[in-house]
Every structure is written in C-alpha cells, then in structure tokens.
Amino acid sequence: MDPKTYKFDTLSLHAGYQPSKNAGSRQVPIYQTTSYMFDDVDHAAALFNLERGGHIYSRMSNPTVQVLEERVCALEGGTAALATASGMSAIFLTIMTLCNAGDHMVVSSQLYGGTVNLFRLTLPKFGIKTTFVKPRDTEGFKKAIQPNTKGIFGELVGNPGNELMNMPEVSNIAKEAGIPLIIDSTYQTPYLCRPFEHGADLVVHSLTKWMSGNGSSMAGILVEGGTFDWMQNDKFPTMTEPYEGYHGLSFAEEFGPTAFTMMARAEGMRDMGPCLAPQNAWNILHGLETLSLRMEKHCSNALKMVEYLSNHESVAWVSHASAPGHPDKELAEKILPKGTGSMIAFGIKGGKEAGAAFINNVKLASHLANVGDARTLVIHPASATHSQMDEATLKFAGLSHDMIRLSVGLEDFEDIVNDFEDGFRAAKKPRLVANK
Amino acid sequence: MKFKVRGIDTFASTGGRPFDKNKPLIIFVHGSGLSHMVWVLQTRYFAFRGYSVLAVDLPGHGLSSGESLKTIEEMGNWVGDVIGAVGCKEASLVGHSQGCLVTMECVAQHPEKIKTLTLMGGASAIPMNPELLKLAEESNPKAVDLMMDFAHGPAGHFGGHPVPGLYHLNVGSMIVQNKEIKDTLGVDFRACDNYKNGPEVAKKLDLPTLSILGAQDRMCRLKDGKILADYIKGSEVKIIEDCGHMMLLEEADQTLEILKKFIAEHYPLPS
C-alpha cells in the first residue's frame, strides 16, 4: 500500500490550483486587483484578525501569487511559502522576521554579492550583526555561534565559486544550538535538491532564475519546512510570546509548523510590503511547468561544458562540483544526485584583461547580471556582481580577477562551444581587441 | 494556555483570547495524531465573539505532557475532566474524526456537562486498515503519508488552502510528525480500531447534535457518517461537496459558517 499523492512533475503543473474554483479556467487566472470584497463587517473583522483564511489586500496576498506559493511549497516539501518581489526581499524578510536589534547571524562567506552587502552593510543599520564563515569550514560555523545568534544562513552551492556548504553537518550544528538553518537554494531548485530533506528549516529562492527560466520577471520566495520548534528555547520571543499586533496572538502556539511564514506575512508584508505582482507570479508559474525538463538539459549541457573547459588551453582552472578533483565532489554526489547545476566558474589565462576580451567577444552568450536563464550567460564577477567588495572581501569570498561566471543555457551545445572559441581567440590577444 | 488535568500539564489553545471561565465554553477535540493546530480557522472566530474556547491537545499530543490515553472511553472521560479543571460546569463539544468518538463518549459519561455536540468527519466506528495500523505502531513515516493521502479529498490534493501560502498535505504531515508517531498516531489508531461502543452510545445521545460530512471523505466515508447521524435522535446533517475528511481546513469557511449557525441556535451567548 503506497500513498497516491502527486509526484514532482505533476505538482509542478498542478499544485495550488483548482480550476473548479476559478470558472473552469485551465490556466491560472491573473488576479490583477489590489483588494477583495468583504461579505460583511463580521467577515472583514475575521479576515483582519487571522480568524479565517482569505485575501484582504494584494500587498499581503493575492490569488495568483497564492498558486505560485503553494506550488513551490509542494515542490520543496514545505508547509508554507510566501512569495516576494525578488530573491533579495525574501532574504531580507526572513532575517527581519527572525531577528531583532542586537541579534547575530552566522553566514557563509560565499554568496551572491548583494546578499553579502545585505549582511555586511545594511543589516548592521538595524542592529543585526554577522560573522562570515567559509562554506567548507564546517567547524567554523559552530565556533561562530554566540548566545545572541538567531540562525545560520548560506547558499548550498556558493556564488560564484561553487564551494559547497556541508548542509547535513551544519544542520546538526544549528540543531544543537537551537537555531534554524536557512538555505538559499536558488542554484539548485527543488528538482536538484530539497534542503528540508537534509536538515534545513527555511529555504529561500530567487525565482527570477531557474524556477522561471525565461528571464522575464523578478520574484523571490520564502519556504518553511515546518521542522523547527520555535518553543524549544527563549531565543525567539516574537514567535512564542503574545504579539501585540494581533491582540496577543502567539504565532508558534497557534500555527506551529507554519508559524514563521504566518509571522512573515502578517508582520513583514504588512509593514514592509515587498509583494509580488500577480503578472510576475503568472510568468514564473509558466516556467515552473517545465522545471524538470529544463533542469535536466541545464545539467547535461553543464557537464559537457565542464569537460570542454577542463581541456581547453586557454582555461587555467574550472570550478563545478562535477569536475574531477573538485573538493566537494563526494558531498555533491550525496546531496545533489541528479546533478550539480549549471553554474560554472572558470579562470581564464591572461587574467582580468583576457577575461574582459573574452566577454566582449562572445555573441551567443549574454553578458548580464543574472543567472539561470534559458540562455547562456557570462559575467566577470570582480567587475560587476561583486564589484562593491574591497580586495580583502573579494579574497575571503573566494573571488579572483581571472574568474568568469558562466550560467550554462539550453542552446545546442555545439553553438555554445563555437561562441566560446571566438571569445577565447580574442582573449589570447586582448590588447588588439581593446584597440579595436 | 497550560493547566493541569489529573495533575498532568495540559495545553489548549484559547483562540488568541485570555480564558474566561464565566463565558460559554466550547471545547474542540482533534483527531488521531493531530493537535490543537487543526482548529485555528474555527477557534479564533468564536474566541473573539464572546465564547471561551479550548482546542485541547490530548495527553501526549501537541504541547500536552503525559502519555497518550489508550482507549476512546478514557479520552472521553478525560475531556469531561477538562471542564472542571478550568473551573467550568458545562461546555459544548466539537470533535473531528477520532474526536467524534471521544466527544460522544464524553457525552455518554458526563451528560450533565455537555450542551451541544458537533461531529466533523465522524462515524460510529473507525476500523483501521491493518497495514496502516502496523506502520503507525512502528513509527513508520509512511503511515503519515498514507493518512494525509486518505484524509484529503481530490481538491485538497491539489492544494488551495484557505490560508494563502499553506500546503494542506505537508501541514498535516508536520503536525503529526511533531511527536513520535507510534506514541500518538499509533496509540490513537489502535484506540479507534478497538472501539466498538459507537452505535450504542450514539443511540443514547439526547442533545442538539450536528454532523458535518465531506462528500469525498475516504477516512470516514459519507455513508458511514450518515449512518452515525441516523443513530442520533434529531441530529442535523450538513454535507460539504468536493471535500475530504479534513473539512475544518479543506473547506474551513463552509465549516465555520455551518458551525456558527448551529452554535448560535443551540448554544447562544447570554443576552
């Protein structure tokens, strides 16, 4: 006897949506509205006081966005989800729900540059401090925990250097300390890894990337695993003690495995308002329908690209967890058995000048500040995504000036290679290119 | 809030309002392996409309201490003791699934204390599939997966939770897995399987009773819910279409509306 619940590919097409409640519309409708009619005064009061479910105002929730939230939640194996205007707002909302002024976070050092700046520069303005730890330094995460630490945050596969955090072991450290582990799983999508199965308590995504795949819309999401017991200690009073904003409601007591998301929506969306536009939610839903198919092709193209780059005379080094000799290969095989994603970092011989010439001379690959598009993308992190870091921070984050970040797309592999050959040819004589 | 029942720490959600023993009391009793959290879309409404509400965690469940009670009769008696433990003399009861058997037993053992009875997804007997029972008693998580599959109707399997962002199957699953499966779900399933008094108890009930049934219920099928209602003198029956066993969440609004009307008519606030 086995449960007949829907599997991943079915959920990516159907989860969160019932046509019978939407005029039979097979496609998810776009509810382009700010607000929702109340039945009467009692109904309005009940909605505002979280006595019943439903929509009030699209800053808090919207029916189209709700489908996206449930769908991602189902794919991740979570209990609740909250979509936001971008991946960064999902992270900010998560930290602002978790922490108060005077609190502390332990954070992996290898992150998207914007996330580094959030923890390093912006959150201290709110009295939240961070200790950064290199992703492979598992013991370092333990040592960095202080009495006021409220969580551990990291990208499973760090951006842009592709170093893996040992999620199961770091999860044990977090559990021992009674704090949640938060994983930014943008690079993996739930197709490659479901972090709740490896000990994460909260997951965030930039949905702008592979989840959408079409590069059309900004979006982010927070997903709750329902695994963390907020009442196990006195570290999270805003979750466990009566909350004045809802007549003394204790989120942990009332909502248990969905408490964090309920709090993030009720307080965070109410007060900060980084809501996702319904049109953007609809665009992301379109992408999700083909997530499995796209991720398979992304990964297979990436594997071929690793082999091509590893054997190329113009390439000094290649970093991808599938690459021979990668220090995290064994860990990757354990927690990313379907593939290690389509992000590759490589060093080009000739350093910064050669890198610039390469990027200026590829035509098929797009030079832009995004990853996870269906199209192949390249960028030179030290001069773009991570340019606001000083030399010491760049070094600590594992960035070098010869590094090119590559997001392998779905094009015919041979066409990508032909394009890269043009780039490498130009990189061999960067001065000539620069003088053009 | 936490209070003592038979000397054991017991938790009950008060729906977000301080408990007041002078207000009319409604006690909500959860189903197998679950906790007070399944009632949030009913309890808060009544708590903010003049009632005192207790969504109890049965012993050993949710945030309550102690060990799970082993028989439906013991559980029914325990619910009766809750009323006195909080300083009240009477209450209305609302039960879901196993909670229907428990609340019926409570009425049978404490008839003077109970004013109305609401049964959601009930049946006069809940025999367990032997394989499911064995899995639960072995703490096999597959038991929870099967329970979530059976408990939700076709619509619930797709989603569409009344609270934006929540996903039915995984919420239910995590509530059950909050405790060791064999110590809660396993004990509860065995208690349900062993309980044979349902028809006789139901026939003796003599109080305003409402049965809310899901047309797509696969745990306690609609026909079994109707048979139970037929046993109870004067029982009202409301059927929610396109809904499984978890009507209190799958169709929370409809469930609340039905319950509101019943409570307003048979257990009104003092004027």
A20-47 tens-digit pLDDT: 899 999 999 999 999 999 999 999 999 9
Distance (Å, rounded) from C-alpha B175 to C-alpha B251? 19
Picking from B91, B79, B16, B86, the residue whose alpha carbon sits closest to that of residue B49 is: B16
A1/B129 Cβ within 8 A: yes
CB contact under 8 A, B165 and A5: no
What pLDDT shows up at residue A430?
Answer: 57
Please give the share of chain B, as a percent, with pLDDT higher than 90: 97
Contact B236, B262 (CB under 8 A): yes
> Which chain A residues are Cβ-neighbours of B48 within 8 angstroms?
45-46, 49, 51, 247
pLDDT value for A248:
87
Say how many domains are in chain B.
Answer: 1
Residues A177 and A356: their CA atoms lie apart, in Å, by 45
CB pairs under 8 A between A and B: 152
Chain mean position to CA A8: 19
Contact A102, A46 (CB under 8 A): no
Q: Which of A254, A255, A276, A285 is the best substitution to test chain B (most B C-beta atoms within 10 A)?
A: A254
| Assigned domain for B107 exists | yes
**Contact (CB<8Å) A249/B163:** no
* pLDDT for A52 beyond 50: yes
CA angle B240, B259, A255 (to 5 degrees): 90
Chain B residues with beta carbon closer than 8 angstroms to that of A71: 159
Say whether residue A20 is in contact with chain B using an 8 A CB cutoff: yes
Alpha-carbon distance B140 to nearest alpha carbon in chain A (angstroms):
12
Could you tell me if residue B243 is inside a domain? yes
Distance CA A337, CA A198 (A): 13
Q: pLDDT (tens digit, 9 = 90+) per residue, A252-298?
A: 999 999 999 999 999 999 999 999 999 999 999 999 999 999 999 99
Q: Where in chain A is the domain with CATH 3.40.640.10?
A: 8-287
**d(CA A382, nearest CA chain B) in Å:** 38
Burial level of A88, CB count in 10 A (0-12/13-18/19+)? buried
Stronger pLDDT, B76 or A387, i.e. the higher one: B76
pLDDT of the residue at B155: 86
Phi (first) and psi of residue A391, to 5 degrees = -60, -45
A102 to chain B nearest CA, in Å? Answer: 29
**CA pseudo-torsion sign A123, A124, A129, A130:** positive
Q: How many CA atoms lie within 13 A of A330 on its CB side?
A: 2
Position B162 in a domain: no
pLDDT digits (tens, 9 = 90+) for A109-122: 999 889 999 999 99
> Average per-residue pLDDT in chain A?
94
pLDDT at A434 over 50: no
pLDDT reported for residue A393: 77
Query: What mean pLDDT do residues A139-165 have?
Result: 94
Report chain A residues whose CB lies below 8 A from the CB of B174: 79, 225-227, 256-257
Half-sphere exposure for B59 (CA within 13 Å, toward CB): 23
User: pLDDT tens digits for B199-211?
Assistant: 999 999 999 999 9
Neighboring chain B residues of A77 at a CB cutoff of 8 Å: 170
pTM of the model: 0.95
Assess A257–B contact: CB distance below 8 Å, yes or no. yes
**Chain A: nearest CA to B114, how far in angstroms?**
25
Residue B111 lies in a domain: yes
Indicate yes or no: CB of B253 within 8 angstroms of CB of A54: yes
Closest Cβ opposite residue B145 in set A5, A54, A73: A5
Least Cα separation, residue A280 to chain B (angstroms)? 16
Please say if the pLDDT value at position A125 is more than 60. yes
Q: Does some domain include residue B184?
A: no
3-class DSSP assignment, residue A67:
helix
Q: B167 vs A231: CB contact, 8 Å cut-off?
A: no
Compute the C-alpha angle A67/A73/A78, nearest 5°: 150
Q: pLDDT value at position A435? A: 44
pLDDT, tens only, A304-349: 999 999 999 999 999 999 988 899 999 999 999 999 999 999 999 9
CA torsion, ordered A339, A340, A345, A348, to nearest 10 deg: -40
Give the pLDDT mean for B120-124. Answer: 97
- Give yes or no for a contact between A371 and A302, defined as CB atoms under 8 angstroms apart: no
Contact between chains at A52 and B41 (C-beta distance less than 8 A): yes
CATH fold label, A8-287: Aspartate Aminotransferase; domain 2 (3.40.640)
Query: Dihedral angle at the C-alpha atoms of A389, A395, A401, A403, nearest 10 degrees?
Result: -100
A147 touches chain B (CB under 8 A): no
Residue B61 to residue B57: CA distance in whole angstroms: 5
User: How does residue A436 score in pLDDT terms, banded at 50, 70 and 90?
Assistant: very low
What span, in angstroms and rounded, lies between the C-alpha atoms of A362 and A327? 30
Chain A residue closest to B169 (CA)? A79
Residue B271: its pLDDT value, please?
84
Between chains, do B146 and A3 touch, taking CB under 8 Å as contact? Answer: yes
Number of Cβ within a 10 Å radius of residue A338? 13
* Cβ–Cβ gap B167/A247 under 8 Å: no
The shortest CB-CB distance from A21 to any of B48, B160, B163 is to: B160
**pLDDT score, position A245:** 85
Cα–Cα distance between A212 and A385 in angstroms, integer?
A: 20
Q: Please name the residues in contact with A273: beta carbons below 8 A apart, sequence gap of 6 or more.
A: A59
Residue A327 is classified by DSSP as: T
Of A15, A20, A226, the CB nearest to B159: A15
Report yes or no: A258 at the B interface, CB cutoff 8 Å: yes
ipTM over 0.90: yes
Residue type, A68: L
Mean pLDDT of B117-133: 97
Q: Which residues pair with A105 in a beta bridge?
A: A130, A151
Nearest residue in chain A measured CA to CA from B150: A3
Q: How far, in Å, are A109, A145, A157, A206, A385 from residue A381 at the CA level?
A: 15, 30, 16, 18, 5
| Residue A105, pLDDT above cutoff 60 | yes
Q: Given an 8 Å threshold on Cβ–Cβ distance, is B159 in contact with A78?
A: no
Give the CATH number for residue B221: 3.40.50.1820
Looking at residue A431, what is its pLDDT? 54
Tokens of A414: 């041979």
C-beta of residue A211 within 8 angstroms of C-beta of residue A284: yes
Q: Which domain holds residue B58?
A: 2-126+196-266
Q: Provide, as residue numbers in chain B, all residues whose Cβ is less than 8 Å from the Cβ of A69.
A: 164-165
Cβ contacts of A114 within 8 Å, gap of 6 or more: A88, A385
Q: How confident is the model at residue A246 (pLDDT cuts 50, 70, 90)?
A: confident
Most confident of A232-246, A292-306, A339-353, B149-163: A292-306
Residues of B in contact with A6 (CB under 8 A): 157-158
What are the distances in angstroms from CA B22 to CA A402, B29, B114, B270? 75, 21, 16, 11
Q: Give me the phi and psi of A432, to 5 degrees please.
A: -60, -40
Q: Give the nearest chain B residue to A5 (CA atoms).
A: B149
Measured between beta carbons, the chain A residues lying within 8 angstroms of B132 are 1
CA distance B44 to chain A (A): 5
pLDDT at position A351, please? 87
Contact B44 A51 (CB under 8 A): yes
Which of A2, A5, A228 is the mutation pick for testing B, counting most B CBs within 10 A? A5
pLDDT digits (tens, 9 = 90+) for B9-39: 999 999 999 999 999 999 999 999 999 999 9
Topology at the third CATH level for domain A292-435: Aspartate Aminotransferase, domain 1 (3.90.1150)
Q: Please write the tens of the pLDDT for every residue from A171-181.
A: 999 999 999 99
Residue B74: Cβ-neighbour burial (10 angstroms; 0-12, 13-18, 19+): middle
Residue A369 belongs to what H/E stretch? none
DSSP notation for A166-226? -HHHHHHHHHHHT--EEEE-TTTHHHH--GGGGT-SEEEEETTTTTT-SS----EEEEE-S
